[in-house]
């Protein structure tokens, strides 16, 4: 993901220095190798493969599923079909977290890593279905994570809001139960409802989750929906029309539908784009052929995010730098990206206002 930047002063260090938000990142995709080594040892479980290659997505160390060709993507062994194996790998990782202390520690470390990238606020996605040991105790899981985020914020680290995520294959009743639970109990730090998982395993899930997302909207919760990653524009339309989505996670395949692009632009619905994730999981061969530039040119607001930074071996500053280089963005345009990230977040209004004011004071000359 290299190219020639339009502005040599747009560097990783400068990007790190910007107060910004990340709005599409999964807590499940934030276990570093050292975390997994410690957790696996504590659980008495062997690693599924050698430590050095644990994040090699082509192998998935037994989590791989046969590749299914979708036409658009590169068949690199990770591929779009690789998303299914990848999600199973996330199940294995989260299954190692057994205690309240371990969950809180993971949350704290997540906030610290966000701070290391200069992220001031994060909407993190937490999908309780990945966390095997917490089945039936989802409230306890969220409470443990929130305690870790509280400690982190008290220590001056990144502030974090939680988007509770439904798994795409869940039933309508399960989705509505989750939405009712978070709308009623308002678990600490929960700011929104999300859907994630493999779009190809349950491609048209809009109607199924309409009740859940209507409950979330009526309760004033944020709504963000994974769609337009491996499924096409139709599912993005469903997220807008049936799920009242305020943000779309990925949404890149909206590029195939000019009417949809206009709707996204007119309604100010932003796309939480994750270029390196899309390339690693085989949707596009490289950044030059990634649709982000065409989405921006169509007037759609995009944010740039990491998705699953640890197993995908990326950082937010690497993502932003790669996009800035590829699209020839100068400092002013990158500050705009930071402003858009803050505006798209479900952070409290005073946090958004404080970060906006800080960003407006960033010097644009080196
Ligand atoms: N959960 C974690 N990463 C994901 C992705 N890229 N797509 C869908 N669900 C996910
Ligand atoms: Zn995602």
- Is 38 catalytic? The answer is no
Rounded distance from Cα 229 to ligand 1 centre (Å): 9
- C-alpha to C-alpha distances, 252 to 100, 293, 301, 344, 363, nearest whole angstrom: 37, 10, 12, 17, 32
CA 259 to chain centre: 25
Best residue for ligand 1 mutational test, from 80, 84, 87 (most atoms within 8 Å of Cβ): 87
Where along the chain do its domains lie?
12-33+100-360
Model pTM above 0.75: yes
* CA–CA dist 225, 164 (Å, integer): 11
Residue 244: predicted pLDDT: 97
Q: Which CATH number fits domain 12-33+100-360: 3.20.20.140, 3.20.20.10, 3.50.50.60, 3.30.540.10?
A: 3.20.20.140
Residue nearest to atom 4 of ligand 1 (CA): 197
238 with 207: CB under 8 angstroms?
Answer: yes
Which residues, in sequence order, are bridge partners of residue 227? Answer: 250
Q: What is the pLDDT of residues 110-159, one digit of tens each?
A: 999 999 999 999 999 999 999 999 999 999 999 999 999 999 999 999 99
Rounded distance from Cα 167 to ligand 1 centre (Å): 10
pLDDT category, 62, cuts 50, 70, 90? low
Residue 277 near ligand 1, beta carbon < 6 Å: yes
* DSSP state letters, 237-287: HHHHHTT--SEEEE-GGGGG-HHHHHHHHHHTPEEEE-HHHHHHTTSSSSG
User: Quick one: average pLDDT of 53-75?
Assistant: 55
* CA–CA dist 305, 292 (Å, integer): 12
Residue 247 near ligand 1, beta carbon < 6 Å: no
Return the ligand 1 atom nearest residue 26 CA: 2
Which candidate in 22, 229, 317, 319 is catalytic? 229
* CA–CA dist 106, 30 (Å, integer): 8
Rounded distance from Cα 148 to ligand 2 centre (Å): 22
Compute φ and ψ for 81, nearest 5 degrees.
Answer: -55, -25
Q: What is the pLDDT of residues 297-314, one digit of tens each?
A: 999 999 999 999 999 999
Q: What is the pLDDT of residues 257-276, one digit of tens each?
A: 999 999 999 999 999 999 99
Q: What is the dihedral of CA 88, 58, 22, 240, to 10 degrees?
A: -70
99 with 1: CB under 8 angstroms?
Answer: no
Rounded distance from Cα 86 to ligand 1 centre (Å): 8
């Amino acid at each position: 993901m290299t190219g020639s930047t339009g502005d040599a002063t747009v560097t990783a260090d400068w990007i790190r220095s910007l107060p910004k938000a990340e709005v599409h990142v999964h807590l499940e995709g934030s276990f570093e190798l050292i975390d997994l080594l410690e957790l696996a040892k504590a659980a008495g479980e062997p690693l599924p493969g050698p430590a050095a290659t644990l994040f090699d997505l082509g192998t998935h160390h037994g989590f791989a599923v046969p590749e299914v060709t979708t036409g658009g993507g590169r068949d690199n062994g990770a591929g779009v079909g690789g998303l299914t194996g990848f999600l199973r790998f996330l199940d294995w990782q989260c299954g190692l977290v057994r205690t309240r202390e371990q969950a809180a520690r993971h949350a704290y470390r997540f906030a610290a890593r966000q701070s290391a990238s200069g992220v001031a606020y994060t909407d993190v996605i937490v999908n309780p279905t990945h966390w095997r040991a917490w089945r039936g105790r989802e409230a306890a899981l969220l409470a443990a994570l929130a305690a870790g985020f509280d400690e982190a914020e008290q220590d001056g680290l990144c502030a974090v809001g939680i988007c509770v995520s439904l798994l795409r294959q869940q039933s309508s009743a399960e989705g509505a139960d989750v939405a009712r639970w978070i709308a009623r109990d308002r678990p600490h730090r929960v700011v929104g409802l999300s859907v994630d998982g493999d779009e190809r395993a349950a491609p048209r899930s809009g109607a199924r989750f309409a009740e859940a997302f209507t409950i979330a909207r009526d309760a004033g919760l944020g709504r963000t929906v994974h769609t337009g990653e491996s499924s096409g524009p139709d599912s993005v339309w469903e997220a807008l029309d049936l799920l009242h989505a305020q943000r779309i996670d990925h949404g890149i395949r909206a590029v195939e539908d000019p009417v949809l692009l206009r709707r996204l632009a007119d309604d100010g619905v932003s796309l939480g784009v994750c270029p390196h994730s899309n390339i690693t999981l085989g949707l596009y061969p490289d950044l030059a052929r990634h649709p982000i530039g065409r989405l921006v040119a169509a007037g759609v607001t995009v944010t740039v995010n990491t998705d699953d930074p640890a197993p995908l071996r990326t950082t937010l500053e690497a993502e932003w730098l790669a996009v800035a280089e590829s699209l020839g963005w100068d400092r002013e345009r990158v500050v705009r990206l930071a402003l858009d990230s803050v505006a798209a977040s479900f952070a409290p209004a005073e946090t958004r206002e404080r970060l906006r004011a800080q960003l407006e004071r960033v010097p644009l000359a080196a």
